[in-house]
C-alpha cells in the first residue's frame, strides 16, 4: 500500500507499507531491495517514465527492532483485552501509562492513544483531588461484569448441549437404522476436560455426580482427570474437586 503524504509534509514523500506475511518475508531483504521492489510496482502502475528514482529513502525494520518488535499492539494467541488493562494500570498511584497499547476499546489507533491520555489525566485529577482512583474502580466493576457474562454464557451453552443430547438419545432410541447418539456420559466427559469458568465447572461436576461412580471415575480419576481437578483446586474454584480426589 502506498501513502502520498505530500500535502501533510509539504514535500514529495511517498510511504510504502508492507504488512503480514510479506513484512515477515521482507525482513531478510536489504533496504535497496525494498526500494527496487517498490519502484517496480509503481512503474508497473504508472509507466516507466513517470516514476523517477527517489532522491532519498528510509526503510524501517520494526519487526526486528527490540524496542518495538512490530508497528503497534495486537492480541497474540493466549492474550486478551485484559492485558491492555494490565499495561495501563498505574504503579503506586504515582506512575501512569497511556498509549494505544493500554486502550482495549480502540487499540492500534490514534483515537485510542488520545482517549487513553484523557483517561489517565482524569485518573490523576481524581487521585489528586479526592485520593480515589475511580477509573480503577470502574474497570474492576466492568471486569467483574464481563466475568459474570462469560460464566453465564458458558453455563447456558452446556445446558443447551445437555438438553439436546437427551432429546437426541430419545430420538435415536426409536430409530430403526441402529445409529448411535452421543451419550450424556461422553458429553459430560468432554465438558469436564474443557469447562473454562468456575460456574461451568461446578455445573459439570454436579451433573457428573448423577452418573454412576465408576463411569465418571474412569476419566476423572485418570492421570489427565486428576490434573484437571488439581487445576480447579489451585484456582480455588470448587470444593467438589477436593471431595472427588478423596474418593
- List contacts with ligand FAD (CB under 6 A): 17, 71-72, 99-100, 108-111, 113
At closest approach, how far in Å is the CB of 194 from ligand FAD?
A: 36
Q: Which is nearer to ligand FAD, 83 or 190 (CB)?
A: 83
For 3, the 3-state DSSP assignment is strand
Alpha-carbon distance of 213 to 178, in angstroms, equals 28
CB of 136 to ligand FAD, least distance (A): 20
Q: Return the residue nearest ligand FAD (CB atom).
A: 99
Choose between 120 and 154: whose C-beta lies nearer to ligand FAD: 120
Report in angstroms the alpha-carbon separations of 247 from 40, 147, 202, 231, 239: 72, 31, 17, 17, 13
Taking the complex as a whole, the smallest distance from the CB of residue 74 to ligand FAD amounts, in Å, to: 11
User: d(Cα 182, Cα 191) in Å, to the nearest integer?
Assistant: 13
Residue 7, C-alpha cell as written in the block = 500535502
Tell the smallest beta-carbon distance from residue 168 to ligand FAD (Å).
49
Which CB atom, from 80 or from 109, has the smaller least distance to ligand FAD? 109
Q: Rounded to the nearest whole angstrom, what is the least distance from the CB of residue 61 to ligand FAD in the complex?
A: 13
* Of residues 101 and 127, the one with the C-beta less far from ligand FAD: 101
- What's the gap between Cα 192 and its chain centre? 23
Residue closer to ligand FAD (CB basis): 72 or 172: 72
Contact partners, residue 100, CB within 8 Å, separation at least 6: 72, 73, 106, 107, 108, 109, 110, 112, 113, 116
Amino acid at each position: 500500500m502506498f501513502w502520498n503524504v505530500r500535502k501533510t509534509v509539504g514535500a514529495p514523500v511517498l510511504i510504502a507499507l508492507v504488512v503480514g506475511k510479506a513484512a515477515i518475508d521482507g525482513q531478510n531483504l536489504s533496504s535497496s531491495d525494498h526500494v527496487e521492489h517498490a519502484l517496480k510496482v509503481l512503474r508497473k502502475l504508472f509507466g516507466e517514465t513517470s516514476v523517477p528514482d527517489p532522491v532519498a529513502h528510509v526503510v524501517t525494520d520494526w519487526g526486528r527492532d527490540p524496542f518495538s518488535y512490530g508497528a503497534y499492539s495486537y492480541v497474540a494467541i493466549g492474550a486478551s483485552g485484559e492485558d491492555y488493562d494490565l499495561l495501563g494500570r498505574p504503579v503506586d498511584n504515582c506512575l501512569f501509562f497511556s498509549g494505544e497499547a493500554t486502550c482495549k476499546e480502540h487499540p492500534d489507533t490514534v483515537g485510542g492513544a488520545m482517549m487513553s491520555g484523557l483517561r489517565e489525566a482524569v485518573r490523576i485529577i481524581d487521585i489528586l483531588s479526592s485520593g480515589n482512583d475511580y477509573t480503577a474502580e470502574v474497570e474492576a466493576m466492568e471486569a467483574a461484569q464481563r466475568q459474570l457474562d462469560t460464566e453465564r454464557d458458558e453455563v447456558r451453552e452446556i445446558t443447551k448441549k445437555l438438553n439436546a443430547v437427551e432429546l437426541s438419545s430419545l430420538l435415536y432410541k426409536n430409530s430403526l437404522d441402529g445409529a448411535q447418539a452421543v451419550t450424556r456420559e461422553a458429553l459430560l466427559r468432554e465438558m469436564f476436560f474443557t469447562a473454562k469458568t468456575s460456574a461451568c465447572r461446578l455445573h459439570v461436576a454436579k451433573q457428573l455426580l448423577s452418573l454412576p461412580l465408576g463411569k465418571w471415575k474412569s476419566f476423572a480419576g485418570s492421570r489427565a482427570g486428576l490434573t484437571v481437578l488439581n487445576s480447579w483446586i489451585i484456582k480455588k474454584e470448587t470444593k467438589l474437586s477436593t471431595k472427588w480426589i478423596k474418593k
